[in-house]
Amino acid sequence: MLVQMWLPVLAGVLGYGAYRFLAGYPTPPDRNAALSPREYATVAAAALASYPRGGAIQPSGIDAGIPAHVDRFVAAQQPSTRLLVRLLFVLVEHATLLFPAPGAGGMRRFSSLDAAQQVAYLRGWQASRLLPRRLVFVSLRAILTMGYFADPVVLRTLGIAPRALPTPVCAADLLWPRVGQPRSTIRHRAGDVTPPGTPEPLGHEGPLHPDFAESAGERA
């Protein structure tokens, strides 16, 4: 009798859990992404809340490609650390159950909150008296900020984009191939080694690194 009474409740809880954790997330732009749709939605929402469009630096977190960068970052991690990063995103997405955002529907998952609620929710983590909450915020913001600063437009706007820098050939370049390649692929020979000299210091008027120049093909 007791079991029969609780079964519908249990089914309801499980159903809500499944809906909350799995349903309704849009497909990421890159179908081969390392991030799952729900992780992508969390990151995109957090990127826009942290870096809204306009202000002292024009591009938003989305304009600056933070979600795609975080995807590359996660893909570059080994499985154990990838799991930790994923747990961070799950926590941010669903801790609204413990620390709801202000206003109606504040316990919805983070990526489903409205924009003002998302900002207020993250500010709550930032200012929390609980160290673990602040650490979660700092970790999330660090990952997003590193993505923001990977954007050539942001770096050019601030005048801190890397400069072009010819790379001399040193004797060690005759020993090591590129990572993952066999030694047979080493392209340098003894005659390629750059003689010692006194190169000029870099200056801020010098040309940009090709990957960061405006002609590199990124959006303006």
Partner 1 sequence: MSGEVRVWADYERDVHESCDVVVVGSGPAGAVVAYEVAASGKDVVLVEEGPPFTPDDFVLDGSLSMARTMREGGLRSTRGGFFMPTMQAIALGGGSLVNSAICVRSPDFTLDAWCERYDLKRTTRADLDPHYQAIEDFLGIAPTPDDVQGPRNLLFRDGCTRLGFSSEPIARNVRGCRGSGECFTGCRARAKQSVDISYVPAAVEKGARVLTSVQVQRVLSSGRRAIGIEGRIVAPFTGATSFRVRVDAKVVVLAAGCMATPVLLQKSDDLANGSGQVGANLQFHPGVALMGVFPERTHPQFGATQGYHSLHFVRQGFKLETLWAPPGVLAVRLPGFGFDLKQNLARFPYAAIWDAIGSCNRSLGRVRARRSTLDPALTYALHPEDVKLLGEAMWVLAQIFFAAGATSVLPGVHRMPDEMFSLAEAEVLRTGDLRASDLTCGGNHAFSTTRMHGDPQQGVVDELGRCHDMDNLYVVDTGILPRSPSVNPMLTAMALAHRSAAEITLRT
Residues 24-83 touching partner 1, rule: CB under 8 A, are 49-52, 54-57, 69, 72-73, 76-81
The tokens describing 131, both together, are 């160290």
Closest residue by Cα to residue 155 from 38, 69, 40: 69
135 binds partner 1 (CB under 8 A): yes
Give whole-number Cα distances, 135 to 34, 43, 65, 66, 141, in Å.
24, 17, 24, 20, 10
201 binds partner 1 (CB under 8 A): yes
* Distance in angstroms between the alpha carbons of the first and the last residue of the chain: 67
Position among 62, 173, 213, 218 found at the interface with partner 1 (CB under 8 A) = 173
Cβ 138 to partner 1 shortest distance, Å: 7
216 binds partner 1 (CB under 8 A): no
Nearer to partner 1, 20 or 133 (CB): 133
84 binds partner 1 (CB under 8 A): yes
The residue type found at 115 is A
Position among 7, 10, 97, 160 found at the interface with partner 1 (CB under 8 A) = 160
158 binds partner 1 (CB under 8 A): yes
Position among 112, 114, 209, 213 found at the interface with partner 1 (CB under 8 A) = 209
Cα 158 from Cα 160, distance rounded (Å)? 5
Q: DSSP H helical segments within the chain, as ranges?
A: 2-22, 37-50, 66-76, 79-94, 115-126, 131-148, 152-158
150 binds partner 1 (CB under 8 A): yes
The one segment of 7-15, 28-36, 97-105, 193-201 that binds partner 1 by CB under 8 A = 193-201
Are 143 and 73 spatial neighbours (Cβ–Cβ below 8 Å)?
A: yes
Position among 123, 192, 214, 216 found at the interface with partner 1 (CB under 8 A) = 123
